[in-house]
Chains A and B, each alone.
Chain A
Amino acid sequence: MSIRSLVAERRVIICCGSGGVGKTTTAAALALTAARRGRRACVVTIDPARRLADTLGLAGLTDQAAEIDPALWAVGGPDLVPGGSLSALMLDTKSTFDRLVTRNAPDPEQAARILDNRFYRNVSGALGGTQEYMAMEKLHELHDEGGFDLIVVDTPPTRHALDFLDAPERLLRLLDNRIFRLLMTPTRVSMRVASVAVQTFLHTVGRVVGSEVVDDVIEFLRAFDGMEEGFRSRADAVGALLADSGTAFVLVTSPRRDAVEEATFFAERLAEDARAIAALVVNRVHPDFGGADPTGLRATATALAAATDAATDTAARRLGIAYENLADFRAVAILEREHLAGLRGRTADTVYVPYLAHDVHDFATLREVGTLLTDATA
């Protein structure tokens, strides 16, 4: 499906890919495009660069979606359709988690015991997977509360694109820790045996990291007891939302080997779940410069360098440099496209976004990127 259609019709777009490929700017550009086409759009960012954050009005961290003044972005151009709105938020992992705890706790006292617990406070910071889980939780909140036609979600800038799909399970596993349940309430003999192993484990851990730390953990798990189910069912609801036909995955990459590799793994994983990448965005692509074979160009450069006639020497030198330069860029353009060949076959719609002369952090440049994404033909 073309990106233009995705922006016009889907309810959720998730931008995936490894870190450093331009996911955040892509997500912001898609949301802006939707807003300019008359939809009420919201972009959820994770770790935006400062200037982009300022543009989107994210300086005042509230973790709630804040609408951006249309006077700033709904300007200029024939592509503007009335009725749209653009909102943005920067994910605050801790607040989102706190809110989830408060909502799932049977009473305010239990919620307070958890929120004050030192181990709990570490979880949102230290545990890999919490940020991914909370990004999805935030999506769920926004989707439920309504008010948006389109929610575009940026994903955390990890090296491994798949962390986004895999990581939330780590949090759930931590909260649903059966080993500690065994410790708390061993009822059958077999479980008591396992409980001894757990006791030993805790004892050793206590010696290594300090017993007060272990006490914090146990206290947290006691306080959390009974709430894991709420978290699990919430996670299932998010899973359903991701699988919904109104949700699209847009894979973002650059021509770099590691980014393409990560993107490929991601596409393969989605395929395992019988899901497809709706579109592929390749950022920072070098221009084609005409399509000539670099070998021929280098041969010309060499021939020119060999010119010995003093009269034409300088001209030959300059021309040789021009040919060598073109050969270099042709070589990189060819290799980039070769690199991407495997990935392109996985989706109908691929958009190449060229190296831009400037950073993308204001509405004018975001609009430029949005146009590149939606006007490109596959």
Chain B
Amino acid sequence: MEVARFCSSSRVMIVAGKGGVGKTTVAATLAVTAARAGLRVLVVEVEGKSGLPAMFGAPPLGYEELDLAPSVRARFLTPDAALVDYLENHGMRRISRRLAASGALDVVATAVPGMKDILVLGKVKGLEAGRTADLVIVDAPAAGHAITFLTSARGLLDAVRVGPIRTQAQDVVDLLSDPARCQVLLVTLPEETPVSEVVETAFAVEDRAGVALGPVIVNQCFAALPEGVTADVDAIRADAAACGRFVPEREAGDLAAALAFRAERHRLQRAQVDRLAERLPLPRIELPFVFTPDVTRPQLDLLADALATGIGAL
């Protein structure tokens, strides 16, 4: 599929998955890929304190849109802020600090479970409708919360009969159930537990949230050793001799060990990707392992290349 077409297939893309799989990296990568394809992108961070701006070398995010790169902007949209906004727009005078500090807001949010999630998604809907961006990428909350994040609106429709919050919930359900407006991209790692969890999440999200699932992004994949390269010390020594190059004993051992590590990780990962393919009939896009513990602009560019390739193969 053509990259621009994929990035325009839904106006909102929600990137979801358990903690530690690289959601924020994938959200950033998707943003760069879409921007390259000519779209104006807005990334929305839902949890406070995000690693996203650091990837672009930008200062921390705020509630105003911040430019991260040409055609890529980002902002916070936290549940607490969404709740304050909503109450103030519905007849509450400015929420006093005292009221907020007293825990009164917690009472409201707790009284209607999922209310904050619905308000966050309601604001996302507002951003989508505002059309200042061609694509809104939502970096979803981590852990199992992704499921409740997406299913709250339906639950609320059952529980609350009338009132503005119900209308809000209905709007959110409408957004989530229209693939042209919204799809969810699940992110996982090619490891046993993450694969099990993404399969579970996928079925739960589809059943209970009625939201369209895009391709599954499999992060941190090691490439196979190229043709002919083996993790064998003797083979390395032989090659060195053939090149007339002296390789110290220890270095030969290190070279072999590093190749063996990569080959082994690759093998284990393939087994897990196969397992994922078996259990979850969704297209997959694999992103390569990045050899730095941090992701910054150069790595984002590499990842964006890989994402574009993956999209092309869909």
Contact = CB atoms under 8 A, between A and B. Distances in A.
A208 B164 contact: yes
How many A residues touch the partner, as a band?
35 or more
Interface in B263-314: 264-265, 268, 291-294
A322 B106 CA distance: 57
A277 B103 CA distance: 31
A257 B110 contact: no
A174 B113 CA distance: 15
Contacts of B90: 204, 207-208
Nearest to A339: B293
B112 A213 contact: yes
A335 B92 CA distance: 50
Contacts of A178: 102
Contacts of A173: 102-103, 106
B215 to A, nearest CB: 22
A332 B291 CA distance: 5
Nearest to B89: A208
Nearest to B257: A289
B145 to A, nearest CB: 9
A355 B265 contact: yes
Contacts of A322: 229, 236, 239, 255-256, 258-259
B244 A318 contact: no
Interface size class of B (residues with CB under 8 A): 35 or more
A319 B110 contact: no
Nearest to B265: A355
B49 interface: yes
B163 interface: yes
Interface stretch (A28-36, A66-74, A156-164): A156-164
B160 interface: yes
Contacts of B106: 127, 170, 173-174
A166 interface: no
Contacts of A170: 103, 106
Contacts of B107: 174, 177, 180, 217
Nearest to A331: B291
Interface string A263-294: 00000000000000000000000010110100
Given A287-B261, A304-B243, A326-B255, A209 B111 contact: yes
Nearest to B253: A290
A331 B293 CA distance: 10
Given A204-B87, A325-B258, A49 B243 contact: no
Contacts of A311: 242
B65 to A, nearest CB: 23
Contact of A126 (B113, B242, B268): B113
Given A177-B104, A257-B294, A359 B191 contact: yes
A56 B292 CA distance: 35
Interface string A327-338: 011011001100
A100 interface: no
A370 interface: no
A16 interface: no
A85 interface: no
B161 interface: yes
A47 interface: yes
B254 A289 contact: yes
A316 B229 CA distance: 11
Given A257-B51, A289-B257, A122 B110 contact: yes
A319 B230 CA distance: 10
Given A315-B242, A321-B226, A123 B161 contact: no
A209 B256 CA distance: 64
Interface string B219-237: 0000001101100000110
Given A157-B19, A170-B103, A315-B242, A123 B110 contact: yes
A192 interface: no
Please indicate which of the listed interface residues B91, B192, B236, B291 has the most CB atoms of chain A within 10 Å of its own CB: B291
B180 interface: no
Counting chain B CB atoms within 10 Å of each CB, which of A256, A311, A358 scores highest?
A256
B163 A209 contact: yes
Nearest to A177: B103
Given A258-B24, A318-B228, 20 more contacts: A19-B143, A20-B19, A49-B193, A50-B196, A119-B111, A126-B113, A177-B103, A178-B102, A204-B87, A207-B164, A209-B160, A217-B107, A259-B20, A287-B257, A316-B239, A319-B247, A322-B255, A328-B291, A329-B261, A361-B193
15 contacts: A19-B142, A20-B142, A126-B113, A201-B104, A213-B112, A255-B293, A257-B294, A315-B239, A322-B229, A322-B255, A325-B255, A328-B258, A335-B293, A355-B265, A361-B192
Among all A-B residue pairs, the 9 with the closest Cβ atoms: A20-B20, A20-B19, A19-B19, A290-B254, A315-B242, A126-B113, A315-B239, A359-B192, A173-B103
Interface of A: 18-21, 47, 49-51, 119, 122-123, 125-127, 157-160, 170, 173-174, 177-180, 197, 201, 204-205, 207-210, 213-214, 216-217, 254-259, 287, 289-290, 292, 304, 307, 311-312, 314-316, 318-319, 321-323, 325-326, 328-329, 331-332, 335-336, 339, 355, 357-359, 361
